Amino acid sequence: MSHTYLVFRQTGSSYSFRSIVPKDLQSLLGTKEFQLSLRCGILKQAKLLSSHLYNLSQRLYNQLRDDSGHLRNTIDQIKEKLRSELVQLNPAITRNSKPEETKPSNNQKPTENSIIPASSAISLSQLSSKFITAKNEAGYPSKTINGYNDTHKLAISVLGDVDINSLTHHHGRRLVSVLKKLPINRGKSYSNLSIQQLLQLENEPTLSHKTILKHTERISALFNWAINQGYTSENVFRGKLEPIRKTEKVEKHFTDQELNLVLGDKLKAESLVINKPERYWTTLISAYSGARLNEICQLNVSDIQKIDGIWTINLNADSGDKSIKTEAGNRIIPLHPKLLDLGLLDYMKQMENRNHHKLFPSLKKMKSTGYGTMISRWFRKYLIRLGIKKKGKNFHSFRHTVVNKLITKKVYEPFIKELIGHSHGSITMDVYGGKKPLDILLKECVIKI
């Protein structure tokens, strides 16, 4: 619901402008709302006056946020500024009105003490709800949806649940400015603190540039969507964060020496030896397929299949607890012979004999990060213990490593894309190329990893 209202008490009286004070300023200003008489009984004119006063009040609220040292006794100053604005606006509107509009018409007569929305404005929370609904209907992954939700809630807590058409470039700059000062893990470590209280914290590590960039990209995507839907005409968040110039090249794939360490004896010591086989097999499957972490961790026992005499993994989203990042990610790929030699099929049979539905029953699905959370956390610590943890090196590095190896061996690029679940990027290949025969994909691609 919009935070701007017209209040009409009885027939023959004037409309009043009603402003809801943003929650983060209510305790400082000593009130939750206030009203001002518009001295106007014409609905159409009252809407115009109320809209002007709303925009001015939002600018005044933002000025207070930017200058917290002058927050005392300012509610009267706000009212006075609004009255001054009203004096300037009312004569101009009255001169342009028609004589017969001096009273509300019968079909405009509201009930006593009714509250009428000042315009067809849409608030930030309403826009977010519509956007999330659209993305859910379009089949976006839950992790992506949750990311959008988190950013939208953060923006609302910083800017207030305001009419989106009242937002200016000042708001865009303010959001980025606040993001740069927020501590990391605010949701876990400081869930009870307001934005203003978070900004008062000292000596706390703040959000990384990468995280801030994600937030600004998400809020910008929201307003690009709003423009396409006709809810607003401008994206005031676009271009507000300067990209950091990269001065170093980050190698994301494992070198041969690093890969030998990762897949060496210490892997068994941290997995099979302590009865955590999920660590062992998720690591090896990714190393010999380039599959994504969550694609592997969410596998069912039945996803290991023999097709045309070839053992395969079916990476899919065929049930509600599974998700695939893109349409091209739904794929069946041959198992590397190394995985068969190491005993993956024996492990699969064990899970089947124990009546386990999931291939890795010890892994639990997390709301925002899927089944891969536990493995991701362990693998990071594992790399630290191996002494090879550095920027760009994580579980996803297996994917980079597989692609790097296959490119080095001059494997046909469409085969590589088929294996790792990337779109070919052309209508000809995506629509007409079709899936490659499993035996070809095995001999010409997988076996060369």
* E strand or H helix at 310: strand 310-315
Q: Within a 10 A sphere around the Cβ of 68, how many other Cβ atoms?
A: 12
Read off the DSSP letter of residue 120.
S
Portions of the chain given CATH number 1.10.443.10:
256-448
With a pLDDT cut of 70, the percent of the chain lying above it is: 85
The CA distance from 251 to 291, in Å, is 19
Residue range 389-416: mean pLDDT, rounded: 94
Q: Is the pLDDT of residue 69 over 50?
A: no
Q: Lowest-confidence range among 107-111, 229-233, 309-313? A: 107-111
Per-residue pLDDT tens digits for 284-332: 999 999 999 999 999 999 999 999 999 999 999 888 888 887 777 789 9
CB of 160 closer than 8 Å to CB of 1: no
Identity at 389, one-letter amino acid code? K
List, for residues 198-226, the tens digit of each pLDDT value.
888 888 889 989 899 999 999 999 999 99
pLDDT tens, position by position, 409-419? 999 999 999 99
Domain spanning 256-448 has what CATH number?
Answer: 1.10.443.10
Give the closest residue to 161 by CA, choosing from 199, 127, 197, 115.
127
Residue pair 15/38 in contact by the 8 Å Cβ criterion = yes
Q: List for the chain the helix, strand, coil content (%; round to 5).
A: 55, 10, 35
At 206, is the secondary structure helix, strand, or coil?
A: strand
* Assigned token pair, 191: 């869930």
